[in-house]
């Protein structure tokens, strides 16, 4: 082998390695679902027991007049000892009828509901929560604190299913399953419902198995008093992901966090791509910030916690860097196509066949975890990766069918057209992200919601999340305004 051939071989190997790195998110998903059945054996139920500590519920509220009343009433109906539950609504200088509604509930239920008013608001959710924590923790009565959003509806047995884990002193926090609960669902809320099955009922069960929880759901997180005091009695305020940072800090202080899949909390989710984009952009930017804050933590195992384990780091970065992995794989495939089209085709088929197998396995597994979502969102479960990705999976599995289809439609398959088709296939990841960016733009036009939904079904919900992550990179790099933007809720939850 002469020097030129050696360099060509070396370049091909590097490109193949880049493509394999690009498939890490798919590999991580496969590992997640393979380890998921272990939750039947590795869970916290063996140490859980009936336990009813005094719980102070803190609800941050800014202009929540449409939802705060039903949320309070639902809390008062929980299957939990009345004398052990107090509700503190922290009114963040609301300008609607939120104060009037909460005061009326407080007068109706004296000693059980309290209205806490902040005259200067707008500083963000963490500051609002800390106002409530200062008061709740100042009272020795408080043994645990439930932090929730104003719009969520707890199942009647949800709180007692959460508190049973606090019977173990080593557990500092417990989080519930936040399920999409709108009664007038649209295509986007159905996609979100499927996402929550994958991201919570499956991913967080796996995190239970591995011993490290990435995030306590902001809408339903229960903390022991000891856990909050260990982290200073306050919610961190230096990030847009205060719930994730709180989760990390509690575990770094040596207390376990647990996900309770059977404590169900229904939430109202955004109904437009633009609203979802703004919500998830805040989450994504917060995760980018935390990645830097905890740079000393990643892939550094510790006997005190599992946040530094390889498995947790792999899961974290395959989500955080998913768009980058996608771009690396697409670029490497195109360069490999120029160098050696046969190898490029083989690697492309291998990558998409693996994706097809893991997609089928994970989605069939996921929809069984929540039958309610599985029944009314089966179309979105099928279309979750997008029609384009499904076609690529089919082409990878049955390449002759693609050739027959092109010829049947009167097309040709000479070297030039095959090269163009290959470019489109190999660059589908970046193309799909541009597609959902376009969907957000056209959504605001007359009749645009129909075309936005059509684009999302073609490009895939996963591509939407990737595009939002890319936007978070850009916003953080530009140091754009990072003010906390409230997601509008109007009381669509089916209680």
Query: In whole angstroms, what is the distance from residue 115 CA to residue 131 CA?
Result: 12
pLDDT tens digits, 457-487: 999 999 999 999 999 999 998 887 766 565 6
CA angle 72, 77, 78 (to 5 degrees): 100
Q: How many residues does the chain have?
A: 495
Helical H segments across 63-185, by residue range: 68-76, 98-108, 125-138, 158-163
Other beta carbons within 10 angstroms of residue 65's beta carbon come to 18
Is it the case that residue 431 has pLDDT exceeding 90? Answer: yes
Structure-token pair, residue 357:
């197998």
pLDDT tens digits, 113-148: 999 988 877 778 888 999 999 999 999 999 999 999
pLDDT tens digits, 318-350: 999 999 999 999 999 999 888 877 888 899 999
DSSP string of 353-421? HHHHHHHHHHHHHHHTT-HHHHHH-HHHHHTTT-HHHHHHHHHHH-HHHHHHHHHHTT----HHHHHHH
Closest of 71, 112, 120 to residue 91, by C-alpha: 120
Indicate the pairing of strand 220-224 with strand 171-180.
Answer: antiparallel
Confidence at 219, pLDDT banded by 50, 70, 90: confident
Is it the case that residue 356 has pLDDT exceeding 80? Answer: yes
The predicted pLDDT at position 484 comes to: 53
Q: What is the mean pLDDT of the chain?
A: 90
Domain ranges of the chain: 42-289
Please tell me the chain's helix, strand, coil percentages from 3-state DSSP, rounded to the nearest 5: 60, 10, 30
Confidence at 239, pLDDT banded by 50, 70, 90: confident
Name the architecture of domain 42-289. Answer: Alpha-Beta Complex (3.90)
Confidence at 414, pLDDT banded by 50, 70, 90: confident
Structure-token pair, residue 351:
């990558």
Structure-token pair, residue 106:
């407080």
Q: Quick one: residue 147, left, alpha or beta (phi over 0 = left, psi -120 to 50 = alpha)?
A: beta
pLDDT tens digits, 359-382: 999 999 998 999 888 888 999 999
The predicted pLDDT at position 181 comes to: 86
Query: In whole angstroms, what is the distance from residue 152 CA to residue 155 CA?
Result: 10
Indicate the pairing of strand 256-267 with strand 113-118.
Answer: unpaired
Q: Are 289 and 492 in contact (CB under 8 A)?
A: no
Q: Are 414 and 406 in contact (CB under 8 A)?
A: no
Is it the case that residue 20 has pLDDT exceeding 90? Answer: no
Is it the case that residue 491 has pLDDT exceeding 80? Answer: no
Closest of 263, 253, 259 to residue 228, by C-alpha: 253
The predicted pLDDT at position 1 comes to: 53
pLDDT tens digits, 149-193: 988 999 999 999 999 999 999 999 999 999 998 878 899 999 999
Q: Are 448 and 254 in contact (CB under 8 A)?
A: no
The predicted pLDDT at position 458 comes to: 97
The helix/strand/coil state of 402 is: helix
pLDDT tens digits, 381-397: 999 999 999 999 999 99
Confidence at 408, pLDDT banded by 50, 70, 90: confident
């Amino acid at each position: 082998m002469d020097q030129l051939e050696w360099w060509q071989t070396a370049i091909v190997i590097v490109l193949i390695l880049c493509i394999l790195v690009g498939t890490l998110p798919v590999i991580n998903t496969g590992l997640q679902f393979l380890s998921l059945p272990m939750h039947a054996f590795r869970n916290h139920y063996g140490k859980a027991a009936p336990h009813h500590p005094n719980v102070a519920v803190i609800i941050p509220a800014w202009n929540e007049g449409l939802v705060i009343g039903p949320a309070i009433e639902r809390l008062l109906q929980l299957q939990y000892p009345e004398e052990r539950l107090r509700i503190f609504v922290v009114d963040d200088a609301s300008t609607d009828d939120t104060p009037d509604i909460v005061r009326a509930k407080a007068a109706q239920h004296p000693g059980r509901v309290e209205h806490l008013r902040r005259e200067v608001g707008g500083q963000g959710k963490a500051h609002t929560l800390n106002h409530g924590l200062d008061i709740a923790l100042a009272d020795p009565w408080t043994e645990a604190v439930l932090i929730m959003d104003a719009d969520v509806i707890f199942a009647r047995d949800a709180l007692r299913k959460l508190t049973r884990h606090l019977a173990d002193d080593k557990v500092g926090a417990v989080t519930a399953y936040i399920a999409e609960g709108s009664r007038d669902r649209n295509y986007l809320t159905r996609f979100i419902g499927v996402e929550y099955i994958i991201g919570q009922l499956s991913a967080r069960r796996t995190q239970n198995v591995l011993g490290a929880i990435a995030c306590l759901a902001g809408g339903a997180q229960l903390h022991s008093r000891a856990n909050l005091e260990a982290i200073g009695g306050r919610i961190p305020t230096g990030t847009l992901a205060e719930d994730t940072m709180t989760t990390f800090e509690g575990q770094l202080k040596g207390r376990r966090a647990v996900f309770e899949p059977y404590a169900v909390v229904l939430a109202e989710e955004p109904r437009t791509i633009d609203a979802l984009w703004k919500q998830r952009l805040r989450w994504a930017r917060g995760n980018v910030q935390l990645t830097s804050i905890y740079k000393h933590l990643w892939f550094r195992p510790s006997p005190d916690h599992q946040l530094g384990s390889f498995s947790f780091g792999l899961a974290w970065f395959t989500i955080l860097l998913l768009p980058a992995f996608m771009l690396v794989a697409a670029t490497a495939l195109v360069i490999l196509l120029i160098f050696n089209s046969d190898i490029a085709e083989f690697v492309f088929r291998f990558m998409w066949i693996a994706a097809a197998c893991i997609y089928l396995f994970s989605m069939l597994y996921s929809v069984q975890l929540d039958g309610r979502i599985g029944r009314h969102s089966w179309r979105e479960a099928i279309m979750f990766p997008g029609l384009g990705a499904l076609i690529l999976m089919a082409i990878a599995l049955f390449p002759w069918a693609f050739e027959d289809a092109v010829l049947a439609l009167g097309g040709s398959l000479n070297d030039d057209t095959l090269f163009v088709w290959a470019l489109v296939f190999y660059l589908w990841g970046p193309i799909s992200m541009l597609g959902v960016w376009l969907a957000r733009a056209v959504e605001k036009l007359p009749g645009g919601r129909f075309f936005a939904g059509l684009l999302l079904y073609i490009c895939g919900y996963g591509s939407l999340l990737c595009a939002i992550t890319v936007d978070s990179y850009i916003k953080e790099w530009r140091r754009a305004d990072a003010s906390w933007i409230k997601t509008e809720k109007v009381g669509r939850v089916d209680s």
